[in-house]
Chain A
Amino acid sequence: MPRLVIDPVTRIEGHLRIEASLEGGKVSDAWSAGTMFRGIELILQGRDPREAWIWAQRICGVCTMVHALASVRAVEDALQIDVPENARLVRNLIAGSQMVQDHVVHFYHLHALDWVDVASALKADPAKTSSIAQSISDYEKSSTTYFRGIQQRVKGVVDSGQLSLFASGYWGHPAYTLPPEVNLLAVAHYLEALSFQKDFIRIHAALGGKNPHPQTFLVGGMSTAMDPNEPFAVINPERITFLRQLVKGARKFVEQVYIPDVLAIAPLYKDWFTRGEGLGNFLSYGDYSSGDEKDPKTFMFPRGVVLGRDLTKVHPVDPAKITESVSHSWYDYSGGDAAKHPSQGETNPKYTGPKPPYDQLDVANKYSWLKTPRYDGKPMEVGPLARMIVGYASGSKEIQSVVNGALKALNAPPAVLFSTLGRIAARALEAQMMANKLESWVDQLDSNMAHGKVAMFNPVHWDPSTWPSSASGYGWHEAPRGSLGHWVEISGKSIKNYQAVVPTTWNAGPRDGQGQRGAYEASLLNTPVADPARPLELLRTIHSFDPCIACAVHVIDAQGRKYTLPKAV
């Protein structure tokens, strides 16, 4: 029997293909493949490391800025540059608001349609939806009139016969089990979230000039000059007020819309607390320092590794134990397929898959543009769930408090975290933590400015003539989708070697030389599929990871393929 194929997997970033074999109505095996390659690694070679972030940021425009941050951190590590506190605060604000915005967009615009039947919302009684909404939240848009208006708007689209983006949905699929009233609530919030995300992300325009792809990072700090007395300073009292207004709005949306919706919908899909478990191994680099960025003890999200779902033990992260292999990826390594540390990484693209157009990949051999990262030889899950698990097991009071609160609300034991719904809940909880945190960083900026502490940039090594003849370093960031690392090698003032190992590569990579599956592949096993022509159940679990494939197609240099730009003397 031919394998079930989902290509394109939509409502994700990038080009992902899933193939799965079915036995007895359940997934017996699965393969995850990235089907697009750009070669940004080769393109970065020979360029000025101070501008690497501008290029690397374009790895992804959904989780925009995360690669910019990892990149400047890597170059700062290589050149031993400490950034001023204000720059750290602005970076925390940009990254933290990215996390909140990204999680909201993921839940409503990328994931909700796996759980919410838009067509069913037409059958809802708006008065009942209104009373459900008012029972779970204080959000002011909750009247019968409001929900009737939303219903009319959806009806208008359906009646037109031009269903737009909703035309291809799996409406009426037996796996959709929400009552019509809850579907209507979710559809209303889908539209509210569309409006929220573009309003809130103005914070990136204020601190980054624009979104996507903010443009204010610098190796050594930020370009967001701060001055309490200058109307044209990027950060001044007027802008502080604006930032405060935006972060308050985010907190309100997360607390009054996102969290109540997750807590209301999750119990109606209880089966998914035991499906999509995956690996049980979790990695978090940790991030969001309250002081010294080199000290993981100052991190809001702790650093650590949890193995085999054992919450009693957190292992330290040793950067030397990270490797990538290409046993099932369309690349050649010099000296065979043995795994390599990122600082020694290579990428020689060598496609050996079927000639397009094709129907099936050759999954016994190489089948993806993604490589296979491992920690100490083990496959790892990264992302919001990994952060919550590592934080919970590490004894973070804040994380234990939100996780225990949610488990109590759901009347469920911690074991439910290891699931498709566990990932969704973890994402919502960390969005809540972050939305609560943002204002404190605005306050600190404001206080520093009031005390005349306005440094935003450390000029010590801006001039390349101050650099050593060669240097190497790495920069880590906990991006919305998980642990992200960039490794850079600088030689003769330009980039010799650049590599990123990104969250979705950890989760979506193909199996390794030992046949160990990655997180996506493992989590799909045993998933029931009611109708192979409409594989909604597989999408639920894949989407719970929030795939970002453009990121995941690795960014390593190719030793031996030299290109040098004309350079300044």
Chain B
Amino acid sequence: MLTPETDLGNALARRGISRRQLVKFCSAALGTLCMPERYLAQTVAAISKTKKPVLVWLQFQDCTGCSESILRSSHPEVADVVLDLLSWEYHEVIMAGAGDAANRTLDRVVKEDKGKYLVVVEGAIPTADGGVYCTIGGHSAMEIAETVCRNAAATIAVGACAFDGGLVRSKPNPTGALGVQEAVPGIKVINMAGCPHNPVNTAAVLVHYLTFNDLPALDQYNRPLFAYGRVIHDQCERRAHYDAGRFVTEWGDEGHRKGWCLYKMGCKGPAATFNCPVVQWNDHTSWPVRAGHGCIACASPRFWDHMSPFYERLPNVPGFGVEVTASEIGVGLVGAVVAGVTAHGLIKMIKPAPQPPAEPAQTREEA
């Protein structure tokens, strides 16, 4: 019989992952978490000494985009390290076994690692008509989520669908879809909203969990503050153009080619919180606003219904030189978007005059 390793640091070394790479990875994760460098030693020490915790990844009413997103982990070493940090036992899109072999693996984890394993959920959970809209191995998604999430140490809901039902729950919500925290109430859950979730943030949450054996600080939607605590508009590379009153008014016009503000093209950045402009996507290559298209507020609650039509401009924009936090931007504001749309003909212009720039937010020091 094989002997399990008890020291992950040595295990990583044997897999060709040097201490230097591990430190680099932990350092990057701390940066994403907005935690000071002094936690680095503790992080590396915690990760090196841990026996690999078990993780299972469930897919329900999903498009597999969040699985694909984790496969695109942005730092070259991250995918390797994340795979090696955890024992990733069940994940339909990439696991070796199928059918009974896969189902037995999940059953074993729930039984043998009860209360200790992490579960990632991707996709919404259909609750209408006895759960017939999503079954795996003949069992409904509801039943599987109830069993697997209820027995886990914590549930990480990735993407808009697992967060709050996402697109699947959009009106008229034909299948009674819900996010995990509503479908399985009372469990310990962290929501990595976004369509898809950004793997940089999810990797950082995993590192935080491995280091402190707990989840990072959360907002009222159970999203981690480090990633969802600041308004996109306040972090946007096009913000100076907004403050100066320089707007794109037609796709491909001079302002569009010069990278001016996309507010008038329907950008929802002023009403959305996410660290998208900072961590960006695919190894920090770009993000939607950089690529010339407005933000659709994909990390915001119920964004599909509340932030569309996506090409209608926001009726009013908070945050003119004022720090607005995630707690102040919620469904109340986005509700106004839909209401405002009917009156959008009246909204010709928002404040064109230059505004003083926002103060940079304080670095969060909580740990």
What residues of chain A have their CB less than 8 Å away from a CB belonging to chain B?
Answer: 5-15, 35-40, 42-43, 47-48, 50-51, 54-55, 58-62, 64, 105, 109-110, 113, 118, 149, 152-153, 155-170, 191, 194-195, 197-199, 201-202, 204-216, 218, 220-227, 230-234, 349, 351, 353-359, 454-457, 459, 462, 533-535, 539, 550, 561, 563, 565-569
Contacts and interface: CB of A to CB of B under 8 A. Distances in A.
B95 A11 contact: yes
B170 interface: yes
A348 B344 CA distance: 35
9 contacts: A8-B137, A43-B174, A61-B63, A152-B15, A156-B11, A164-B87, A199-B283, A205-B285, A232-B237
Nearest to A7: B137
A10 B102 contact: yes
Interface residues of B, number: 111
- Which 9 A-B residue pairs are closest in the complex by CB-CB distance? A61-B65, A168-B97, A232-B259, A169-B96, A39-B174, A209-B291, A209-B288, A210-B281, A205-B285
A459 B139 CA distance: 50
A10 B92 contact: yes
Given A201-B72, A213-B65, A165 B88 contact: yes
B105 A167 contact: yes
Contacts of A563: 171-172
Interface string B129-148: 11111111111100100000
B186 interface: no
A556 to B, nearest CB: 12
B73 interface: yes
A160 B84 CA distance: 11
A152 B12 CA distance: 11
Contacts of B304: 43, 55
Contact of A198 (B15, B79, B96, B195): B79
B367 interface: no
B101 A168 contact: yes
Nearest to A358: B138
Contacts of A567: 309, 341-342
B136 A168 contact: no
B342 A220 contact: no
B286 interface: yes
A42 B133 CA distance: 15
Contact of B292 (A198, A210, A225, A535): A225
Given A39-B175, A205-B281, A459-B252, A355 B130 contact: yes
Given A35-B134, A205-B285, 8 more contacts: A9-B98, A12-B93, A36-B134, A62-B93, A161-B3, A169-B101, A567-B309, A568-B309
A206 B91 CA distance: 29
A43 B172 contact: yes
Contacts of B22: none
Given A61-B64, A62-B68, A211-B281, A195 B288 contact: no
A434 to B, nearest CB: 19
Given A207-B291, A356-B140, A459-B252, A233 B102 contact: no
A215 B289 CA distance: 9
B239 to A, nearest CB: 13
A210 B72 CA distance: 10
Interface string B155-172: 000000000000110111
Nearest to A67: B63
B26 interface: no
A568 B342 contact: yes
B177 interface: yes
Contacts of A51: 308-311
Contact of B196 (A9, A36, A61): A61
Given A10-B97, A51-B309, A168-B101, A159 B3 contact: yes
A156 B94 CA distance: 20
Interface in B167-211: 167-168, 170-172, 174-175, 177, 195-196
B343 to A, nearest CB: 9
B105 A160 contact: no
A300 B321 CA distance: 52
Contacts of A62: 63-65, 68, 93
B256 A168 contact: no
Given A61-B63, A165-B88, A233-B259, A37 B134 contact: yes
A14 B257 CA distance: 39
A462 B136 contact: no
Contact of B2 (A58, A59, A160): A160
Nearest to B175: A39
A8 B309 contact: no
A208 B286 CA distance: 8
A208 B175 CA distance: 31
Contacts of B331: none
Given A198-B282, A224-B292, A568-B312, A59 B63 contact: yes
Contacts of A160: 2, 4-5, 11, 52
* Residue in A10, A221, A462, A561 whose Cβ sees the most chain B Cβ within 10 Å: A10
Interface in B72-124: 72-74, 76, 79-80, 83-84, 86-105, 124
A226 B253 CA distance: 10
Contact of B288 (A48, A212, A216): A216
Contacts of A359: 138
A118 B96 contact: yes
Contact of A212 (B65, B92, B167): B65
A162 B87 contact: yes
Residue from B62, B139, B237 with most neighbouring chain A CB atoms (10 Å): B62
B338 interface: yes
Contacts of A118: 96
Interface centre among B71, B104, B289 (most CB of A within 10 A): B71
A367 B138 CA distance: 12
A205 to B, nearest CB: 4
Interface string B287-313: 111111100100000001100111110
B345 interface: yes
A459 B311 CA distance: 14
B197 to A, nearest CB: 10
Contacts of B312: 568
B68 A165 contact: no
A170 B97 contact: yes
Contacts of A561: 172
Contacts of B235: none
Contact of B282 (A205, A218, A227): A205
Given A5-B99, A167-B97, A356-B140, A550 B63 contact: yes
Contact of A35 (B136, B292, B305): B136
A550 B64 contact: yes
Contacts of B134: 15, 35-37
B209 to A, nearest CB: 17
B102 A206 contact: no
Nearest to B287: A209
B48 interface: no
B43 interface: no
Given A43-B171, A167-B89, A216-B293, A210 B96 contact: no
B293 A209 contact: yes
B242 to A, nearest CB: 14
A6 B99 contact: yes
B251 interface: yes
Contacts of B345: 568-569
Nearest to A59: B63
B258 A227 contact: yes
